[in-house]
């Protein structure tokens, strides 16, 4: 049996994971700026390429998964999860072309609320009073962010659309997480699940840029550098580190730690792009994340 790592090691790995995940919005915004503007086409290229590179890196792990022991139902749930993971990355990446980093990351990080709501609706999991209060508080914050004007210095050309896309991304990743839970409960290992989900997500998205008449080639070098860094840092290092710490640390604590992502992303956005969130975005994001924290800190419904 594997010995539990020290508190220091767990803290360092979790911190590295949070910081790595927090850079995702930055690499996307760098790619957008390098092309002089984002939009649907570039967003799909970034989302697809990120997943494709991640799937390629994970390719050597395929033989290590004991596929003969995996049920068809587990593989089906993992494949379905990949479809929603593709939707998450496509929607959230597009959101950063239209709204601020602070608003986008705060909204997409609200997924614990939607997971709780979907768990109640689909599986009959109980929603406690504290979770319901957290949802209500987060909803107020979400409305404030959603009706805001973006930021004072950002590329927030259409905050309503950007915020709606970030919300769609949050819904998609919530379904992805629930389907992943079902796949793993049916015997698929975490490694096998990630391999299937990432590969399916990449395959689903690959045709879409071409259908829109957008090429994967011909972009400035910063775009391709951003794609590689998106795959290596937020995708592989970030998510892997967080998933590893969940084995040893309370999921509630990890969820609360993940709420640092929009904070770190916003600070990086200010430092690199001088992007200052408007006052209403700042207040709304704080209220939204506070509501998520209230719900996440509730252990009675787990």
Query: Using one digit for the tens of pLDDT, what is the confidence trace for 20-47?
Result: 999 999 999 999 999 987 788 999 999 9
**Cβ atoms of residues 287 and 106 within 8 Å:** no
Rounded to 5°, angle at Cα 61 from 187 and 8: 80
Domain assignments of the chain as residue spans, ordered by start: 7-296
**pLDDT surpassing 70 at residue 284:** yes
DSSP tag of 277: B
Across 71-88, average pLDDT: 94
Share of the chain above pLDDT 90, in %: 42
H helices present in 96-158, as ranges: 101-108, 111-123, 129-146
The CA distances from residue 50 to 46, 54, 122, 198, 295, in Å, are 6, 6, 31, 10, 31
- pLDDT (tens digit, 9 = 90+) per residue, 150-168? 555 455 678 889 999 999 9
253, 65 Cβ separation under 8 angstroms: no
Tokens 């494709």 sit at which residue? 52
Cα angle, residue 56 at apex, residues 70 and 254 outer, rounded to 5°: 70
Per-residue model confidence (pLDDT) at position 213: 92
Residue 301 in this model has a pLDDT that exceeds 60: no
Q: Structure pTM?
A: 0.88
Neighbours of 268 (CB within 10 A): 18
b or e along 183-221 (b: 16 or more beta carbons within 10 Å of the residue's beta carbon)? bbebebbeebbbbbbbbbbbbbbbebbeeeeeeeeebee
Please give the pLDDT value at position 299: 55
Length of the chain, in residues? 302
The pLDDT value given to residue 302: 47
For residue 79, what are its two tokens?
């494949």
């Amino acid at each position: 049996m594997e010995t539990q790592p020290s508190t220091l090691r767990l803290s360092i790995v979790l911190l590295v994971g949070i910081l790595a995940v927090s850079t995702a919005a930055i690499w996307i915004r760098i790619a957008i700026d390098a092309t002089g503007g984002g939009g649907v086409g570039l967003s799909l290229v970034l989302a697809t390429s990120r997943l494709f590179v991640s799937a390629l890196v994970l390719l050597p792990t395929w033989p290590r998964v004991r596929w003969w022991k995996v049920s068809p139902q587990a593989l089906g749930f993992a494949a379905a999860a990949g479809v929603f993971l593709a939707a998450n990355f496509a929607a959230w990446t597009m959101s950063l072309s239209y709204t601020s980093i602070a608003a986008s990351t705060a909204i997409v990080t609200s997924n614990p609320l939607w997971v709780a709501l979907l768990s109640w609706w689909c599986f009959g999991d109980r929603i406690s009073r504290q979770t319901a209060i957290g949802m209500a508080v987060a909803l107020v914050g979400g409305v404030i962010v959603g009706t805001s004007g973006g930021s004072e210095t950002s590329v927030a050309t259409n905050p309503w659309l950007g915020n709606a896309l970030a919300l769609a991304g949050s819904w998609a990743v919530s379904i992805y997480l629930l389907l992943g839970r079902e796949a793993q409960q049916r015997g698929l290992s975490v490694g096998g699940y990630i391999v299937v989900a990432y590969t399916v997500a990449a395959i689903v998205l690959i045709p879409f840029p071409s259908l829109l008449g957008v090429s994967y080639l011909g972009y400035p070098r910063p775009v391709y550098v951003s794609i590689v860094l998106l795959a290596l840092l937020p995708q592989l290092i970030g998510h892997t580190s967080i998933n590893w710490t969940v084995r040893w640390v309370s999921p509630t604590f990890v969820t609360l730690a993940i709420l640092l992502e929009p904070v770190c992303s916003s600070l990086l956005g200010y430092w690199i792009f001088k992007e200052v969130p408007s006052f209403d975005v700042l207040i709304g994001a704080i209220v939204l994340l506070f509501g998520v924290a209230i719900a996440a800190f509730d252990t009675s419904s787990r």
